[in-house]
A and B are shown apart, each in its own frame.
Chain A
Amino acid sequence: MSQSGEKGKFPETAGYVGFANLPNQVHRKSVKKGFEFTLMVVGESGLGKSTLINSLFLTDLYPERYIPGAAEKIERTVQIEASTVEIEERGVKLRLTVVDTPGYGDAINSQDCFKTIIQYIDNQFERYLHDESGLNRRHIVDNRVHCCFYFISPFGHGLKPLDVEFMKAIHSKVNIVPVIAKADTLTLRERDRLKRRILDEIGEHGIRIYQLPDADSDEDEEFKEQTRVLKASIPFAVIGSNQLIEVKGKKIRGRLYPWGVVEVENPEHNDFLKLRTMLVTHMQDLQEVTQDLHYENFRSERLKRAGSVQSNRVVEEEVMDKDQILMEKEAELRRMQQMIAQMQAQMKMKPGDD
């Protein structure tokens, strides 16, 4: 009740308890504590990932960039590079970790390139699980990957096989936000066509990307409209740049071409602002989904596996992804067919089933 006096908004009225101020208390505490967010960027080399991250957060996370030559790339495997930066805005501290994956999709044979990435994600979950089960749980550092920006090349006609395989492999572990990179190479019509194509292919392959939550009914119209617009623009077609260019007397971030200037923050040119809005307004939701959905999936799977007495196959069938179940069933089917063939060859009796 003493806190209501602080704001001066809620004088002593009858029946007023005062816990409506709880959000303010939470707000103050979290501002003090600061926020943690881990963002992973995945995509082929040269799609503008680093530029986009720098543009989004108005920092320079990659000051001395070394681009390896093709010969070096042949031997390289996918690396994981995590860089952390503390950003502060109006008293709110954000500890942002950007996990980069150089080498993804570079090699001629990209069959194994996402194993490293999946391992990293699992490791972060593992570590959190371990900390959570430990004795001292006061300062658990949350390094789990909250969001993954997957960069789709604008040059293709839709998703590439590598894109599909990768997204299918991680959609149960992390929130995927597909992003069309270097969108200044597309005209408006091409962009719409590509977006529709990508959404169709995502639906076709059953990939679960991050769904923006609908606005609550008690939010104002503006917010609802914004959410609707955001949802309709996925995947976001973005352009990144940190170069300042003078246009009509103002200095804005953009890219200067002989035929015109592409403005990064112009909603007519690209979806950069929408992406930033989405990230910023839904950062909390991304963290929640990671905690409630992906982490819990991981946790239950791990605990079951650790505590199981039965054969591995039965346990794993229960908790594995549909794809893996399908693969197992196919392998089993093949074995059975072989057995049947053998039996038929030997005895010409009715085949026994398992």
Chain B
Amino acid sequence: MIPQTRSLTTSTPIYTTQDLQLEVEVEASVQMEEREGEDGVEQPPLCPIDPNTQGIIKGRDLFGYVGIEAVLDQMRRKTMKAGFEFNIMVVGQSGLGKSTLVNTLFKSKVSRKSCTPNYEEKISKTVNLQSICHVIEEKGVKMKLTVIDTPGFGDQINNENCWEPIVKYVNEQYEKYLREEQHVNRKRRIPDTRVHCCVYFLPATGHRLRPIDVEFMKRLGHIVSIVPVIAKADTLTMEERLEFKQRIRQDLEANGIRVYPQKEYDEDAEDRILNDKIRENIPFAVVGTDKEHQVNGNKVLGRKTKWGIIEVENVAHCEFANLRDLLIRSHLQDLKDVTHNIHYETYRVRRLNESNANGLGLSALSLENGTFDKNEAESQL
């Protein structure tokens, strides 16, 4: 079972078991092989052991194959076993197709409408957040998907402060995570309920951002990654769509709203090029549906009208495929990283500063918006 060093050049994983213990053994043995290689050959030691020079050694400079890249496989297997967590929040007025879009994105019935039997679409009087959790599996990869819905947002006559319950919720999740982190005996994997992505639905008016959009995105842009989308975009022709997007981008810039992917967090030039392309296209104009129709002999997801069939996954019709690629296929991990490294850290710094300013330890402080857990405080002492 112990692999030979030379044969590690094959790309298929040689390890067939997923036993944790075996992985540890294998890691140790690989390290041992490395050291043996050093002693057994006549050539000078592998690393130019001068810590002051540029310490990056490219693969082709190595005198033999070490097997460092095997760590990728190990990571892959570990994360596959552990599974992913992703929390997505959808915000927008009633009737903009939020639930349908989420169902279409994840190709399963994950929205609150699919989970509640006899669902009636009544406009609720207050904004109440509902989160539904599902475990989706694809090719052995498990994802624990949580969809947080916000019915009642922006539906009333007076919508002042309708964003407050949402801000409160996001901060509560950060607080929960912070508390878990601060425990003396903390869990190995802290359950992550923080909102990784907030998809904000703009109605396809064709004009500009409305005041409620501006207010919401301004406030939430600081604490969560917002991805604005144009909902029900099948009412805009191509020119109208381009103009609308341009005006929205102007409005976003004019109001200092930062949406995902944020310019400041681009790590290197490659990222920047990729993200610039995305930034040129936001907000994505999407159309969602769960019905299939026959088009040219293929079954496609689409909306059938008297004047044609709008194919959801056809990039010439709408940008659903781009949104899906962004959210799931290319930037899902990035969304989580940004949430963890940037938004969460900002929150943490703020909270720690607050607690320092009050002169008390964090343990004695109550949660930002509510309950004070005495037992937790005592356990930290």
Contact = CB atoms under 8 A, between A and B. Distances in A.
Q: Please indicate whether A and B come from the same complex rather than being unrelated chains.
A: yes
Interface of A: 44-47, 67-71, 73-74, 106-111, 153-158, 160-162, 165, 182, 184-185, 187-188, 255-263, 268-269
B203 A258 contact: no
A257 B234 contact: yes
The 7 A-B pairs of least Cβ separation, nearest first, read: A46-B205, A260-B308, A156-B95, A260-B307, A259-B308, A185-B235, A157-B121
A70 B255 contact: yes
B306 A108 contact: no
A108 B159 CA distance: 5
Contacts of B206: 46
B212 interface: yes
Contacts of B114: none
9 contacts: A45-B210, A46-B207, A73-B210, A154-B232, A184-B307, A185-B234, A262-B307, A269-B306, A269-B307
A243 to B, nearest CB: 9
B204 A109 contact: no
A152 B159 CA distance: 19
Contacts of B251: 69-70
Contacts, number: 122
Contacts of A262: 307
A155 B93 contact: yes
Contact of B93 (A108, A156, A258): A156
A154 B251 CA distance: 25
A161 B235 contact: no
B310 interface: yes
A260 B234 CA distance: 11
B195 interface: no
Given A70-B251, A259-B308, A157 B205 contact: no
Contact of B307 (A108, A153, A162, A263): A263
A160 B213 contact: no
B97 to A, nearest CB: 8
Contacts of B237: 255-257
Contacts of A161: 123, 155-157
Contacts of A154: 232, 235
B160 A258 contact: no
Given A160-B123, A257-B237, A188 B305 contact: yes
A67 B305 contact: no
Interface string B153-192: 0011111100000000000000000000000000000000
A71 B214 contact: yes
B254 A71 contact: yes
Contacts of B238: 257-258
Interface in B130-160: 155-160
B71 interface: no
Given A45-B210, A71-B255, A155 B203 contact: yes
Contacts of B208: 67-70
Contact of A187 (B97, B160, B303): B303
A261 B307 contact: yes
B157, B158, B207 — most chain A CB neighbours (10 Å): B157
Nearest to B214: A70
A160 B206 CA distance: 20
B211 interface: yes
B38 interface: no
Interface string B195-237: 0000000011111111111110000000000000001101101
Given A70-B251, A70-B255, A259 B310 contact: yes
Contact of A165 (B95, B157, B207): B157
A162 B311 CA distance: 34
B81 interface: no
A185 B287 CA distance: 10
Given A108-B159, A161-B156, A257-B237, A70 B308 contact: no
A285 to B, nearest CB: 31
A45 B205 contact: yes
A4 B360 CA distance: 104
Given A110-B158, A258-B316, A263-B307, A155 B232 contact: yes
Given A155-B93, A155-B231, A157-B121, A45 B207 contact: yes
A155 B94 CA distance: 8
A288 to B, nearest CB: 33
Interface string B90-105: 0001111100000000
B35 interface: no
B93 A187 contact: no
A156 B207 contact: no
